[in-house]
Homo-oligomer: A and B are copies of this chain.
Amino acid sequence: MTKKKSGGRSKPLILVTNDDGVTAPGIRALTEEMQQLGDVVVVAPDSPQSGMGHAITIASPLRLEPVDLFRNVEAYQCSGTPVDCVKLAVDKILPRMPDLCVSGINHGTNSSINVIYSGTISAAMEAAIEGIPAIGFSLVDYSFQADLTLARRVSNLIARQVLRHGLPEHILLNVNIPDVSPAQFKGVRICRQAVARWEEEFAERTDPRGKKYYWLTGRFVNYDPGDDSDEWALKNGYASVVPVQYDLTAHHVIAYLSSNWNLDGLPKKARATQ
């Protein structure tokens, strides 16, 4: 469904979603901040969806229910993933394409490689794919009791920048906020995604019927010595802003493969073995 874009005639229309679920403190804080900037509609999962990545719901139907959880804000809970929420909001709920989609404030970091696993970022990415300026916000503190003061202010200020300047085509922002007080906060840095990964170990247990099961556990390892990465920024009291793209092509590798691989032989070989 193609929807009209705003002609700048009214207040900005802002879609708010998350992956911690519609009852999380982070989405309440983000919604309140966005109400200062425009007309807000919330469409968020009805249960926690952390780690859902860019999952979509294909094999089962989706439910959508209005909820009265936010003061003066039209809000819905959805049985699907964060990406489903954005798709449903655009197709079924919003009166026009929104001027901004914000996702979060996530309870826990989505810096470096976590961007890959994050439902928060995937929701923002889905919005960007649909042509909507989009931002994912995450706080480096997993607790639902975390102090959201600084995260609120950073979210408000970055959202203002995006509403004012827009974003380049096919780009969204991954914003992480350090776990420091506003007084300790050093500022905002534009960064690249750090080279890091999780070293997993599965905890093996035995159920009451004697069958094994496994819990994912892991240790985050940062291999990146650079001071221009998001990990560096967060460790040094800065909020990190990483411009993210969904063109996953490693363009610099195309020429390498084309010249080093023998691909001419493939079709003949495939035919020869017929």
A95, CB-defined interface residue at 8 Å: no
A9, CB-defined interface residue at 8 Å: no
Residue of B nearest to A202 (CB): B91
Which residues from chain B contact A213 at a C-beta distance below 8 Å?
A: 61-63
Residue of B nearest to A253 (CB): B243
A251, CB-defined interface residue at 8 Å: yes
Which residues from chain B contact A90 at a C-beta distance below 8 Å?
A: 200
Distance in Å: Cβ of A151 to nearest Cβ of chain B: 10
Distance in Å: Cβ of A149 to nearest Cβ of chain B: 8
Contact call A153/B273, Cβ cutoff below 8 A: yes
Contact call B258/A249, Cβ cutoff below 8 A: no
Contact call B242/A171, Cβ cutoff below 8 A: no
27 A–B pairs (Cβ distance < 8 Å), ordered by A = A1-B199, A1-B200, A50-B58, A51-B55, A53-B55, A56-B216, A58-B216, A61-B213, A61-B214, A87-B200, A88-B202, A92-B214, A113-B246, A154-B270, A161-B261, A168-B256, A174-B248, A182-B270, A190-B258, A190-B261, A192-B247, A192-B251, A193-B247, A195-B247, A243-B253, A245-B248, A245-B250
Residue of B nearest to A162 (CB): B261
What 1/0 mask marks residues of chain A from 231 to 274 whose CB sits below 8 Å from any chain B CB?
A: 00000000101111111111101101110111110110111011
A245 to B116 alpha-carbon distance, docked (Å): 11
Taking CB atoms and an 8 Å cut-off, the chain A residues in 173-194 that contact chain B are: 174, 182-183, 185-193
A113-B129 CB under 8 A given contacts A185-B270, A266-B157, A270-B150: yes
